[in-house]
A and B are shown apart, each in its own frame.
Chain A
Amino acid sequence: MEKTPSRLLILSFVAVLGVVALVSPACVHPPATLSPAGQTAFTADQVVLRVNELENAAMDASAKSLITVPQARVIVAFCVDADKTLKVLPSGWRVSLQQAWTLAKVKISLPAGSAVAGAVTAVDLVLGVL
């Protein structure tokens, strides 16, 4: 089948839609009825959910030898530290987690199509580092 530019464009669009659908829970807004503290905790919990999914994806990929144990260790260590930060600083996590995540990604240097790519993108989006 010939791959015309328009076909590639459509395929790219479908791929982008797939990624958006995959990470859409990251974009859930807190209920308007919540107090400011409740909304802050709600937003922080959305980040925790994505971080924990990344942790599980890394452990699973490591068990299947899709990524190395040192790579998985970097991801899991980041996730543990991120959870600790989010627990004690639900309103002040953004900058420190963005920096830690950027450093972690440099250390692991995973290719775009790696086994944890979806979870990585979800964390990118929720931390705002894309």
Chain B
Amino acid sequence: MNAALLATLINTIALPELTTWLRGLHQAQTPVTEAMVIQKLISDTDLGISIGESWLAAHPS
């Protein structure tokens, strides 16, 4: 195989694929931090409170 063609194939196909795969691995192993967990707790509770209070207001006893 022509060396230039091989280099082009590596640069245009193999390297981007490899980069994407490595980036995915890195993101999958991103550690969960305390701040992230606390922020998620706050947003999840806020969501439940907001939806629930709206529904209760729309359905008075």
Contacts and interface: CB of A to CB of B under 8 A. Distances in A.
B37 A41 contact: yes
A116 interface: no
Contact of B38 (A38, A77, A80, A83): A38
Contacts of B32: 31, 33-34, 38, 42
Q: Looking at chain B's contact residues, is the secondary structure mostly helix, strand, loop, or mixed? A: helix
A84 B21 CA distance: 41
A70 interface: yes
Interface residues of A, number: 32
B57 to A, nearest CB: 11
Given A33-B32, A37-B34, A38-B38, A69 B44 contact: no
B59 interface: yes
B59 A69 contact: yes
Contacts of B53: 80
Given A83-B48, A83-B49, A77 B56 contact: yes
B42 interface: yes
23 contacts: A31-B32, A33-B31, A35-B34, A37-B38, A38-B38, A45-B41, A48-B48, A49-B44, A51-B48, A52-B47, A55-B55, A59-B51, A69-B61, A72-B59, A76-B52, A76-B55, A77-B52, A79-B48, A83-B48, A83-B49, A84-B45, A84-B49, A87-B49
Given A34-B34, A77-B52, A87-B45, 8 more contacts: A41-B40, A42-B37, A48-B45, A49-B44, A52-B47, A76-B52, A83-B52, A86-B41
